[in-house]
Every structure is written in structure tokens, then in C-alpha cells.
Structure 1
Amino acid sequence: EALGCEVVIEPLLIIEPDSGSPIDITGIQALIVTSRNALRALNANAHLQTLRSLPLFAVGDATGALAVDMGFQTVCPGTGEARDLPALIARTLPDRTGPVLHLAGDVLAFDLERPLREAGYSLRRQIIYRSRTARNFSPAVLALFQSGKIDSVLLMSPRTAHTYADLVNKMQLADISRNLVHFCLSERVCKALDTLPEPEMLSPRRPNMEEMLALIADTVAKKR
């Protein structure tokens, strides 16, 4: 909105905290968080105060910033790609005696267990939230698509992009999508649109919100 754009928010993933299983923090020496949804789900957890004292490896700057806001004392943000976290952990966490706890959702974009095991770490995974995909666009957003009032779409994860593409095809919006600019957080997000007919896609040099906003600002300026 600060760039002069009218913004419409359409959730394509419905996030539900999973409070069914207690978190086993026995012997944990560090945390991994690959989504802000995990931190939000952790907010009401009884172990939050104890977990704040552990080093936390965040997938990217935005997740790291939220962890800092929530009171975590030592936060190490990554590049924005979960696949880069094992190398960051290996450089930062020399002690390999205790397990590392991954606070995760029920669907993994990237499985950290094998690369961490190869680096000498033991990974413990705790599902702390669950997600389900939207079945349709809302009537209001569908009307905006059909009237040509949407000119760009912002997609932040491969799963969200895949859901978007499925809904575009399901609701017969593929021809309309040809005229839209799709701002994708990374190349992996772009690849999730491969079922759409020749979509226009732009992605920032690094997968973080700051560079994404800079890309949008540059694109908007060129069109004025």
C-alpha cells in the first residue's frame, strides 16, 4: 500500500495450531523454525519461556524478526531457503551431542533430517501446526479476477503457488492469469506455477521480504 498499490489478501492455506502433543524438550540444545506459522502456534505453549533461552535457527529474516519480537534471545536467520539451514547450523553450533528440535507443520517443503544427520546432528521434529489448502477463491476475489481488476499476484511459498495454480485452472481463470504478473519469492515458487499457460513470473535475487518489496517497487515504477 505504501507503494500506491491496492492490496487484497486471499488466504490459500488455512493454518490450525496443533496442541494435541506435548513438546519434548529433554536435552534440546537448539531450535529450528522454518515458518512464522510455527512461532505463532508456539505463542500459547507452556514451554515458550524455556524455549526462549535456546539458540533459534530461523529460515529467513522475517521469521527471525518475529522470533526476536517474541523474546528469543539468540536468533540466527538463514537465507530464506530451508535447504541452506544445515550449513548455517554446522557453522554456528559446534556441539553435536544434543538433539536439535524442528518446530514444523504437517507438510514439509524440505526435509532437514538427512543433511543434518550427515553433518553429525540428531534432529527431533515436533508438528506444532497443521495446514489445509483453500478449495476455492472467495466470491469477492473471483469477481476481481473476472473483472480484470487484479494485475499482479504475490506468492510466498511453493505450496501456496501450487494451490493458486490449481484454483486458477479449476475456476477457469487460466486465460486471465496470462495477463498477470506473478511475484514469486524464489525459483522454487516459480516452478510451482508450471501448470499455468506461460505465466509472467518475477522473483527477487534473494528469497526475503525486503528484496521482494524492492522488486515490486521497481516493477510498479516502470509501469507508471
Structure 2
Amino acid sequence: MDVGPRYDGGAGAAGGDGPGYGGGRGDGGGDDAEALLRARLRLADEQIETPPGLWDRIREPGTARAPAVVPLPRRRPRMVVLVVAAAVAAVALGVWWLVRPGPVSVQPAGPTPTVKITVYNSEQACRTGRSLECALRLANDPRAEYAARGNSAGRVWHGDALAARCVVTDGRMVRDEAGVTSTRWYLVTSGQGARGWLPGVRTRNTREVPECPAEVR
């Protein structure tokens, strides 16, 4: 910055009694230099331009938007995790208790249902007593000859109660002493445990008996 002419030589410099800075202040020269310096500083200050909007930004410091702070996820304490797991298990147990199936009990296979039938002998004289002459045969095979040797599974008498399991309707035809014929044969068990086939003509059954399955025929 220019502060005026310097007085470093010239007339009076050697003697130190002329105007300037060489021999001290004389005739008010120092006051003029100070006044000139102040004038130049004031002019420089006036020439400084303030950036547009500076004072507004200074007066409103709170208007600037603060940067967003994203909180870091906190680790769950182990106890909280255990409590949540226990609650989930309790809810699942409650749901299962509500929708659980009923108790399943395995029942042992019971005996096959049977129908009670009674032996009938068409001969009047054989309706009493239990002689061998009045005995009626239970057959092993309902399709074989009834009186064939070896086709005997046991003996029954008039009036015996038998447990009939099933019946076949296409067995060998049998005729009794009164001339009654039938192709029906009942798979029966006697009171003594004998198991065989009774011809339909040897009973007067009035109850429905189921037909025998294929594996029994």
C-alpha cells in the first residue's frame, strides 16, 4: 500500500534540519503522513465488498439443516432372546393343545360276530337223546359229497345251538329225510368247539347270516 513519498535523501538530509524523517518531526510533517495513512485505510475499507447473503446467514444460524443421525442397532441381550423363545414355545404348545387329536386307543381284535342258529332233525324219533344213530354231521367242505368218508368235522344233535359265522349259497345240494333240499351251507362252531359246515336242511334258521368272504369259500 502506498503511504506517500519517502524522504530518504535530498536537501537538508545531511544536516538533519530539513523537512522529512531524518532529523525528527518538523513543521507538522508527521501529522500529514498519519492523516494520509488513515485516509487510505478508510478508502480500502470502503472498497471491501461483503459477499451477498453473508449477514443473513450470520443472523439465522438455526436455519441450517442438521445432518441426519442414523442410530446403530443395539444388540439384544441374551436374556431377551431367551424370553422371546420361551414365549414362542408356550404359544405353540397352547395351539397344539387346542387342535390336538383325541386319544387313540388300539382295541384288540374281538371275535368275529356270529348269528345263533339251532340244529333241526327232520326225523321225529331223533329229536330226543344223543345217540350216534341220531347224530348229524358237520362237513369239512360244503362242495364235497356230504356223506363222503373224510368229509366230517364233528357231530351235532337236534336242538343244539350253534354260532354261525357266515353262509355260502352255492354248495352241494342236500336232501333231508322229509325231501327238503338246499344248497345253503353255514360255517358254524358248536358248543364243544367243533368247527365245520352245516347243511341248510339241518336247520330252520329265520335270521339273516352274512355271506362268507372269498377266502373262506
Please tell me the TM-score bracket, short chain as reference: under 0.3
Higher normalized helix content (fraction of residues): 1
TM-score using structure 1 length:
0.17
Q: Which has the higher contact order (CA 8 A, sep 6+)?
A: 1
Max Rg structure: 2
Higher normalized strand content (fraction of residues): 1
